[in-house]
Amino acid sequence: MAVTVKLPTQLRDATGGQAEVSGEGATVGEVLESLYGRFEPLRERLTDGEGGLRRFVNVYVGGEDIRFLDGLDTRVEDGAELNVLPAVAGG
């Protein structure tokens, strides 16, 4: 399944400047894994080395934080949009 992944400015050097890339997979975890295959530096930047995401990385599917869904096991539909953003909040 093809999924669009939008990346923040801070990660675009890992994708040759692309703000939006396409990933493959049935879950958020699989889609991200497919990206690590093509853009290896993303793995180090996003994951905690123990199979999870770093604690200041937020991932959204269709605008919803995956921590309200099933985390990395959250299912994604063909054509879904996944958004990776740094955790920054306060106001």
| Contact footprint for other proteins (CB under 8 A) | 6, 8-10, 13, 19, 44-46, 54-58, 60, 63, 65, 67-68, 83, 85-91
The whole-angstrom separation of Cα 7 and Cα 13 is 10
Q: For the CA atoms of 15, 85, 31, 47, what is the dihedral angle to 10 degrees?
A: 90
**Measured from the CB atom, is 78 or 89 closer to other proteins?**
89
In the complex, the smallest distance separating the C-beta of residue 16 from other proteins, rounded to whole angstroms, is 16
**Measured from the CB atom, is 12 or 75 closer to other proteins?**
12
**Measured from the CB atom, is 40 or 68 closer to other proteins?**
68
Helices (H), 1-90: 28-38, 41-46
In the complex, the smallest distance separating the C-beta of residue 17 from other proteins, rounded to whole angstroms, is 13
Q: Do the beta carbons of residue 3 and residue 25 sit within 8 Å? A: yes
